[in-house]
Amino acid sequence: MSMECIVHFTVGHKEGPKKLRGLIFVDKGKSPTGQQLLDMFHEMEYQVVPDPHDELLFRPENSAETYTYIRVNELDLGQERYTEDRNLKSLLNELLPKQRTGL
């Protein structure tokens, strides 16, 4: 059984930030994956990549875009809302390149 997850995010435009929402369908009891977030942004015509220094931040692939960033603010799964960075971090961590430790 799938359920809706409303993704609240902010798009940073030169004229000021704009708050938007997107929709992802997830299995009951699950949170969206990082790839689902990227797919949602791409469907909304935001061609973005994860920021390597901030798990909640996405940057445009093309520097000529009219926006400079997208920040995920909240995941609304109905009765459950994930607004703390530690919850979002685990979702988005899979998008970032794995850091290798020195040998």
The reported pTM is 0.74
Domain ranges of the chain: 2-95
The maximal CA–CA distance of the chain, rounded, in angstroms, is 47
Confidence of residue 54 (pLDDT cuts 50, 70, 90): confident
Residues near 63 by Cβ (< 8 Å), separated by ≥ 6?
Answer: none
The pLDDT of residue 32: 86
Instruction: Assess whether pLDDT exceeds 60 at residue 27.
Output: yes
